[in-house]
């Protein structure tokens, strides 16, 4: 992760600090000062360096979108420093503490998948993740209601990745109902750290492959009505 703060945030802080002492500087003037402090001739030269040094935006893969509760707190896109064309989500140091999440998502028409069982397979890895990194898949009906969903957060094994872990494969398997309208899938980072994903694969499977989750979570029969048994914390 970046050791330096975002230079634009540094310029904003500088402008606020000098204003508190009765001095007025424009934002562009503060950018030039920050550039000089960091050893650059001017802001244009500095900005080009920052873009190559982890401060600039990453290129998004075609067909994918960024979303999440706090997506601006993260740097998302193709990782030029890791072989194998992975995409990465990285928390920005100066935006902490990170209490939300950011996700890279793709949405497709469900018409060609109705009545089938789909398996989403992805390779994941992570470094210094305080919350979780995971894949997810959701199926919505025509009014935007979620009718199938799995994000691996409740699994007791083969679930989310935390801390630092090397490449490992994860799977989600969901049935696509006849009233499905759209499929949504991707991966996300919750909390701080950095994660990578590669090798997204979405394919039909037969009934021998068990479904991993159902948004309705319907029980076979009533259970634990006196709350005596506790669930495992996610």
Instruction: Tell me, yes or no, whether 111 lies in a domain.
Output: yes
Instruction: Tell me, yes or no, whether 217 lies in a domain.
Output: no
| Together in a domain, 7 and 65 | no
Give the structural domain span for 148. Answer: 58-205
CB-CB neighbours of 54 under 10 Å? 17
Average pLDDT per 10 consecutive residues for the chain, totaling 234 residues: 56 84 83 80 64 64 91 86 85 69 95 97 95 96 94 91 96 96 96 94 96 67 78 43
The dihedrals phi and psi of 216, each to the nearest 5 degrees, come to -75, -25
Q: How many domains does the chain have?
A: 2
Q: What is the CATH number of the domain that holds 94?
A: 2.60.120.260
| Together in a domain, 109 and 45 | no
**Which of 56, 74, 96 is at the close of a domain?**
56
| Together in a domain, 44 and 104 | no
d(CA 92, CA 36): 23
pTM for the whole structure: 0.70
d(CA 82, CA 126): 12
């Amino acid at each position: 992760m970046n050791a330096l703060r975002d230079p634009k945030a540094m310029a904003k802080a500088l402008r606020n600090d000098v204003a508190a002492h009765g001095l007025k500087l424009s934002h562009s003037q503060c950018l030039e000062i920050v550039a000089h402090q960091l050893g650059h001739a001017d802001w244009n030269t500095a900005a080009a360096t920052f873009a190559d040094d982890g401060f600039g935006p990453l290129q998004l893969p075609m067909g994918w979108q960024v979303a999440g509760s706090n997506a601006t707190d993260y740097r998302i896109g193709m990782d030029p420093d890791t072989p194998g064309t992975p995409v990465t989500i990285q928390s920005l140091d100066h935006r902490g503490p990170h209490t939300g999440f950011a996700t890279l998502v793709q949405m497709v028409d469900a018409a060609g998948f109705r009545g089938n069982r789909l398996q989403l397979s992805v390779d994941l890895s992570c470094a210094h993740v305080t919350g979780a990194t995971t894949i997810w898949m959701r199926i919505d009906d025509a009014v935007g209601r979620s009718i199938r969903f799995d994000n691996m957060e409740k699994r007791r094994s083969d679930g989310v990745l935390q801390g630092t872990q090397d490449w490992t494969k994860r799977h989600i398997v969901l049935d696509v109902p006849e009233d499905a309208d759209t499929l949504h899938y991707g991966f996300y980072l919750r909390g701080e750290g950095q994660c990578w994903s590669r090798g997204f694969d979405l394919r039909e499977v037969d009934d021998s492959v068990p479904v991993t989750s159902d948004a309705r979570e319907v029980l076979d029969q009533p259970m634990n009505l006196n709350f005596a048994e506790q669930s495992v914390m996610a």
